[in-house]
A = this chain, B = another copy of it.
Amino acid sequence: MQEVNTLIETGKLTDPQSPRGRILWKAAHLFKEKGFERTTMRDLASEVGIQSGSIFHHFKTKQDILKEIMQEAIIYNLAIMRASLNNASSTEDKLRALILCELKSVNGVTTEAMSVLVYEWRSLSKDNQKDILSLREEYEAIWMEVIEAGIKEGWISNDAFILRRLLTGAISWTVSWFKSGGEMDLGQLADEVLLLVRG
């Protein structure tokens, strides 16, 4: 988690303890729980413990909050992913690392921000979608590299693009059923997903 502090200090991530940060993560929580549209600024304000108007001292619009959440979710996960890849040697290890990272993103501490990113995409205005998309492409490029290596090595038989998309769905959907603290942990779940790919 060293990288995270660096990201906060360099201003790429908002400090969760700042007033702005508290609004941001409560918003992520509510957006995940009730959806963007169903969450009102008054809901958010009372969750933070301030008046609804006060939010607009920190963010220009409700849209801006959504965009900021998504942006920071990607930046955070991009950092974690790259760090995690450095500890993997074989292609299979790398793929497992990516799977685990995404599972952690979706089910771990950033679960709110990440599921907002996945499931509230169309609530984002077209302009904002464009801005976020470039960050997202960077993220996807890493995945594709590893998958294509697996295909060359011969132990992946699916089409690379299709596989990535099927995996995106399978992994992000876990947020709706996986409960940590149960019989299965995220490591085992990653193994199941890897088993699916490898057969």
Contact = CB atoms under 8 A, between A and B. Distances in A.
B169 A173 contact: yes
Chain A interface residue bracket vs B: 20 to 34
A199 B37 contact: no
Most B C-beta atoms less than 10 A away, residue of A166, A168, A184: A166
Contact of A198 (B159, B166, B170, B199): B199
Given A37-B37, A196-B196, A198-B199, A174 B165 contact: yes
Contacts of A34: 122
Interface string A159-194: 100110111111111100100000010000100110
A67 B76 CA distance: 38
Nearest to A38: B37
A40 to B, nearest CB: 11
Nearest to A177: B165
A195 B199 CA distance: 8
Interface in A44-71: none
